[in-house]
Amino acid sequence: MFTFTFECDNQAQLAALHQAAHFLAEMHRLAQAAPASQVLQAVEGHALDAGRHFLRDSLQSAAQQRIDREEKKGAPRDAARAPAPADARAGTAAN
C-alpha cells in the first residue's frame, strides 16, 4: 500500500481529499467486482453519479469559502449572478 502526505489549508480541503479517496477506492472495487462484460458500465455509472456529487460538493465548498472570506472582510451580501449564456452555435463552422 502506498501513502502520501498532503497539507490542507482548511477542513473543506481535507473533506474533499477524503471524498476523492473514497471515490477512487469505490471505482477500483467496482471494477474488480463487476463481471468482465460489465466493468466499463459499472465504473462509468459510478463516475457519473458519484463524480457529479464530488464535483458539486467541491464547487459548493470553494464558492462558500470565498463568500465567507468576503463577508468576513465586510463586503455586502449581493445576489450571485450567473454569467450570460454563450451562443450555443458559437465556435461552430457555418455550413
pLDDT digits (tens, 9 = 90+) for 12-64: 899 999 999 999 999 999 999 999 999 999 999 999 999 999 999 999 999 99
Instruction: Confirm whether 1 is domain-assigned.
Output: no
**Residue 48, pLDDT score:** 95
Q: What's this model's pTM, rounded to 2 decimal places?
A: 0.68
Residue 28: domain span:
11-70
* Contact assessment for residue 58 and residue 16, using Cβ atoms and an 8 Å cutoff: yes
Instruction: Confirm whether 20 is domain-assigned.
Output: yes
Instruction: Confirm whether 40 is domain-assigned.
Output: yes
Q: Using alpha carbons, select from 90, 75, 19, 78 the residue that is nearest to residue 52.
A: 19
Overall domain count for the chain = 1
* Contact assessment for residue 28 and residue 42, using Cβ atoms and an 8 Å cutoff: no
Q: Using alpha carbons, select from 70, 66, 61, 63 the residue that is nearest to residue 19.
A: 61
Instruction: Confirm whether 4 is domain-assigned.
Output: no
